[in-house]
Amino acid sequence: MSETTPAPEDSGRSRLSRRALLGGAGAGVVVAAAGGMAVGRATAPEPEESSEIVAFRGERQAGIVTAAQDRLHFASFDVVTESRDDLVAMLKAWTVAAERMTRGEETVENGATGLGNYVPPADTGEALGLSPSKLTLTIGFGPGLFGPTAAFPGRGDRFGLADRKPAVLQDLPIFAAERIDPLRSYGDICVQACADDPQVAVHAIRNLARMGFGVVAVRWSQLGFGRTASTTQAQETPRNMFGFKDGTANLRAEDTDLLDRWVWVDAADNPPGAQWMTGGSYLVARRIRMDIEPWDRANLLEQEQIIGREKNSGAPLGQKKEFDTPDFQITSYGAPMIPRNAHVRLAHPDNLGGVQILRRGYNFTDGSDGFGHLDAGLFFIAFNRDPQTQFIPMQQELSRRDAMTEYLIPNGSSIFAVPPGLADGEWWGQGLFES
């Protein structure tokens, strides 16, 4: 992508009419077209024709700084073929289908009902008639795609990608106080589907899984019923299953300098083989079961001291309003008002050498745990430029010292390299496979 014609990102929302640009629904099949951004892109004056559509292509993948949608379906896939050609063909087909689905279209035109009686429909149909619902589909590649990993030491370099592997893309280490379930962790490819209508997100994942039959298999998937992060200044801070506002101090789409510093991978970060990640980010996914029953029996003071914020307002303890700056020096009866092991103190950049990350997690509830409790918690998603110097040291600090860990049981842990966005004509993974 040319440095001189960056696509306007604006919280992931396109300012131009994609249908007008492409000249009709059928033109959605653009895989064969040459790369490069359409010249008219930056000058197209029309607002997006539907506020329910988030642009699929651009400098960055949508679904990172895009205003966090209400619902999530996240899937991690094992690649089950050894054929690089089959994998590339699937990624090309996925790209076409993904772009169409983000526009509210079927995976292929008339896919559900218009291809004839004697073929399986090319679209499963459950999203027919639904709005695009701001669907974003964000792809990432796991360490296992590139050869052996900590979790799969016997894995070979199935696709000749070993020299393209970013040095920082390693299975996350074992942290304190976690009980990782391998069947909720790892994976060679992830797709994060976010939408305001969950049926639209589920439809997207289901159709990609279906198209990938024989090439990929669902390793795990996670539904998130409610966002726990704001990624733009316009969004109100949501609450997590502890009942607290979550993500008040999150990075936002508007913090472009901070995003460059903490989220987007710079060319200088990468060895020569991994330049395909320039402009991308690293996605960390952690399924964090919350022990909500003991939490609910903790008194309000204890809850607020564990978090370091007031439950109602979200204000840092000792302050008045949610967005007031925490003051870690204030004391009360000789002790810090924000305790030394409070989450907000330990997760604050001041405690972490300045490190920040972009969070984009979702609340989940997956039935019962079989012991009379709800299996509920936070499906934590974070984007960072370098997990080795950001998420991992942060989590090492929090998992050892954060008072909140007493109520957390992380049981899923995954990392994926999320490449930059696609120019017109490009396909998911093209930079990785063709660079």
Site for a second copy in 161-190 (CB under 8 A): 183-184
CB of 377 to a second copy, least distance (A): 11
Residues sharing a CB contact under 8 Å with residue 275, sequence separation 6 or more, in sequence order: 267, 435
CB of 332 to a second copy, least distance (A): 12
| Contacts of a second copy in 327-346 (CB under 8 A) | none
| Contacts of a second copy in 240-279 (CB under 8 A) | 240-244
User: Binding marks (x or -) toward a second copy, 291..320, rule CB under 8 A?
Assistant: -xx--xxxxxx-xx-----xxx--------
- Separation of alpha carbons 257 and 260, rounded Å: 5
Residue 230 near residue 238 (C-beta atoms within 8 A)? yes
- Separation of alpha carbons 46 and 89, rounded Å: 34
Choices 13-21, 44-52, 113-121, 352-360 (CB under 8 A): range interacting with a second copy: 113-121
Choices 71-79, 331-339, 343-351, 414-422 (CB under 8 A): range interacting with a second copy: 71-79
Residue whose CB is less far from a second copy, 241 or 344: 241
Binding a second copy (rule: CB under 8 A), the pick from 210, 275, 399, 401 is 210
| Contacts of a second copy in 114-143 (CB under 8 A) | 114-121, 123-129
- Contact call for residue 235 and a second copy (CB under 8 A): no
Amino acid occupying residue 266: D
CB of 253 to a second copy, least distance (A): 22
* Listed residue (37, 137, 31, 33) closest to 88, CA to CA: 31
Choices 29-37, 157-165, 319-327, 361-369 (CB under 8 A): range interacting with a second copy: 361-369
Residue count, binding to a second copy (CB under 8 A): 73
| Contacts of a second copy in 368-427 (CB under 8 A) | 368, 370-374, 376
Binding a second copy (rule: CB under 8 A), the pick from 48, 49, 254, 366 is 366
CB of 80 to a second copy, least distance (A): 7
* Residue written as token pair 């054929």: 83
CB of 149 to a second copy, least distance (A): 19
Binding a second copy (rule: CB under 8 A), the pick from 220, 282, 383, 433 is 220
CB of 77 to a second copy, least distance (A): 9
CB of 296 to a second copy, least distance (A): 5
Residue whose CB is less far from a second copy, 192 or 384: 192
Which pair of tokens denotes residue 156? 């070979």
CB of 270 to a second copy, least distance (A): 32
Choices 52-60, 148-156, 248-256, 360-368 (CB under 8 A): range interacting with a second copy: 360-368
* Listed residue (107, 417, 95) closest to 264, CA to CA: 417
Residue whose CB is less far from a second copy, 39 or 119: 119
- Separation of alpha carbons 182 and 78, rounded Å: 12
| Contacts of a second copy in 187-206 (CB under 8 A) | 197-199, 202, 205-206
Binding a second copy (rule: CB under 8 A), the pick from 31, 33, 223, 352 is 223
CB of 325 to a second copy, least distance (A): 22
Residue whose CB is less far from a second copy, 265 or 338: 338
Residue whose CB is less far from a second copy, 18 or 309: 309
Binding a second copy (rule: CB under 8 A), the pick from 112, 151, 162, 409 is 112
Binding a second copy (rule: CB under 8 A), the pick from 356, 363, 384, 395 is 363
Which pair of tokens denotes residue 369? 């745990």
